[in-house]
Structure 1
Amino acid sequence: MRKYKSIIAVALSLALSAQAASAQGPRRAITQIGTERLLAGQTVRLYITGADAGTAPDDVRVEESADGVSFYDRAVGSVSENANVDEGISFFFLLDNSGSMWTDLRGRESDDGNALRIAHAKAAALDFLADVGAADSVGLAVFNTRYWRPLRPTADTRAVADAITEIAKPPKEDAFTELYLSLDRAISEFAEVPGRRVLIVLSDGEDYPYLARTNKPNPDFGAAVSSPSAVIARAVSEGVTCYAVRFGADKDPSLGTVAAESGGTAFDASDGAELSGIYAAIRADVLRETAVDYRAGMQPGDRRYVRASVDGGATWTPARYYYAGTVFGSARERPGALFLIPLMAAAVLWLALWLFKLERPTSRAGISLLYGPSGKRTEIFALSGARTVIGGGAEADITIAGNPSLKASHATILFDEVRGEYTVAAPSDLTVNNRPVAKKRLEPGDVINMAGTVVVFDDTSSSMTSRTTNVRGGTRRALPGARKPRKQ
């Protein structure tokens, strides 16, 4: 029986791929912009769908713009048709586990467990696991009133299968679907994983937020709110592609827009066979992508627009943008003499600050040196501005000398003024709370290890706090979704 289901799924995946290509906008598009190496090597990676097999590197062109109007050529470093096969793809399933998922395909109560929507969703996810590549990883989260992530992306498909199988029916008192708050959190957590990131969200209905319906804080998210536009901004800034699967007749009206704006596609499914076909189609499309590495420009401003051509400039993908941070410079490769004036002024200011910047404690956001070079006493360093470089070289904003393994510009902490959030990023030799990361949103108390130099992040002025729930005068950490809500 499983053999026939697999044949049906493959046939459906081919049909769905063709349908998506014809109905979902342009054939060629940038699906993800990878900026993990932007700070250290001024290199950006584009994942492009729709390129013809055997595309010659000389036919690939990339252009950047600071305003989305005037575009300039950038130097292409490498072109690979097999990057996703060789380096692997990280998949993250975000599954709706509201009460309506425990009804049959027509939305009716049923005693037949195999007829339930959740059974179809589980079976399709298990079919997907059977086909993932050796270099791929898969993670899982479920949502309803709460958000619960039982598993970070891992190559252990058996552990993923066990986590999928163990998804349980939610209690009746949990009756809400926090679609966009859960998407926002899933994207933030998934952004810590380097490489090609594919988030697949399955939902059988509309966003039904707890706070808006009850005027009470959500037991997991508190008073936080989100929206489709906020999720799109998060996905773009974190470089995560969202694929949306709308399961059943009830559909969220904005979920397709979120998928398209993040570089993904929206699909509709009515049963498990169609779900299996969709999952296979998504993986097949991502495997066919072409990875293009290019040297980023130095235009001023936080936002950079980029477009690409794989036919020598005859046609171009729609422009997408990424966030680069404000830096000195322009698109010119050889700056003029006037360009040196702000640099000289910055150097003079740096000399004035360097003598005492490692000595002054701060009550603002900052990092505390917990373990550094031998004999180095504990210090507290302030974080100011949108970008703070930490390293062993004199050019770093925070210089920690004495560790030969610490690079001159080892890591960068970025501040998002809109969200009031700090993010640490580094191309290598970086762990946060003993987990290797390329980029991570910081919370007070996070322990950052840079090649043996250890600092602790703190933000006394931040609203970021541990997610807790009052219990008879005390506090406890909110339970992550062992209780999963039902949709009304």
Structure 2
Amino acid sequence: SIVKPAEEEAYTELYETLYQAVDELRTYGGRKVIILLSDGQDFPLENNPNFPTREGIEGAIRFAQQEGISVFTIGLSARADRENLLRIAEETGGAYFWVYDPAQLRTLYNLIRQQILQEYLLIYSATMAPAEKKPVRVVYTTDGERSEAERFYFSGTIFGMGREKLDWKGFLFIPFSCALLWVLSLCRFEQKKALPSLAVTNSSSRKTQVHELPVTKVKSEITIGGGPSSDVTISSDPKIRETQARISVKGGVYTISSKSPIKINNRQVTTKVLRSGDLIKMGDTHVVFDTGVVKAEVQKVKKSSKRGEGPKKTSSRRTGSKKAVSKRGRR
């Protein structure tokens, strides 16, 4: 059952939770919208282990703007912080509403849905002529009604400088870039793995093992932990629990979750959509996630199914038993 905490124990991580929602939603395609139902009050918990680095309202709004995610805010009481809720909505391309009757939420959700379905996508080619700031105004007229909006953007020629500030020093980067490309061409890079994988490195032994992850529907979740029942067993690290985390896949998107906070890219979280190169730290062990050539492998699975290969044969070749995964993970 849900128990209401005492007033001195209650807290609301509004802005950090909004930032986290944008981070989890940005990997999906299409039009993305967040509906925020709140009183607009932010009461952060001091030294909250889930948010060691704080972004605040400025960081949450800036992150949503960068990812093109609109936030529609709904004030749920007469005491709602209208100023902050209105600011979040306007600066991210959403809208602010207030309701005092929960029964009105269904109507409000349909209103937001209709507004999104009636949106237009406008593409504007910005000029590079130097100016302090440039306005862009959009005017829409229908049935005698006129609506308009205006925004400003900044643009320069090279390195954000106008033509009057350019000199020969600004072009030194060209030979430097060519030299850097030549140096990189001499480097040998490790070949990308065919399947999504986890590279597990223990800080004490310095040994790395690579474990491939499932890309079919036969096995949509794996467990990581120190116990023998885990799919990926890390027995050399006593700080890792028997089942430390779970990685699930849906629609080609991998999501890691854990009951206790784990550190991913130096940020403590309990759940996160994984991207290639994400660094996961569990105890004294570092785990690097790699997406691999997922699309190519999925196509191979589909082609083999058409040729009459049974699903069991395909799945055993992709996922295999726990022992098979461990053998493939050793270098």
TM-score of the superposition, structure 2-length normalised? 0.48
* Bigger radius of gyration: 2
Whose relative contact order is higher, 1 or 2, with alpha carbons under 8 Å and at least 6 apart?
1
TM-score of the superposition, structure 1-length normalised? 0.34
